[in-house]
Amino acid sequence: MPNTIMSMDTNATQEFKDEYLLLDWINCSIDGSTEEAYNTYRYGGDFFKAIRFMRKAVYQKAIHQSTCKIIWKYILFNTTEDIELLNTAQNMARSLGIDELHFVITAVGSHDGTVTPAKTMNNFDVITDYIKTNPIFHNVLVTLS
């Protein structure tokens, strides 16, 4: 079907499969740019597996000359919104060679209340100002969840 768009949202902790590159894009939900920040929300997740997934996706994309976009979907929480963490994410995105980094504004947190929505990076204007003053990665977008 020529007008069909196919995508995938994943926590990126499974093994990457080349078949995924047949999709139009892959959203890799990795909320945090350090293991410590990531683990505040992704209980039982594996930060390093998730980063490996994105690294392999980018590598295999190049080998297969795929047009699939590799997107890092970074949800902003009170535990992941520090400028240092956001700068680290941008640097990692650049070094990994992903296509887009999405900082996602959300209104939800963890089930036990220990992780809440971002307190500072919680609206388009604030995040857009951050991106303008910290232009590290070439393709950072802001989205709502």
pLDDT of residue 1: 54
Percent of all residues in the chain with a pLDDT value above 70, rounded to a whole number: 99
CA distance linking residue 62 with residue 116, whole number of Å: 37
Domains of the chain: 7-144 (3.20.20.70)
Tell me the average pLDDT across 32-53: 95
Tell me the average pLDDT across 2-20: 94
Residues 6+ apart with CB under 8 A from 3: none
Confidence of residue 41 (pLDDT cuts 50, 70, 90): very high
Tell me the average pLDDT across 47-57: 98
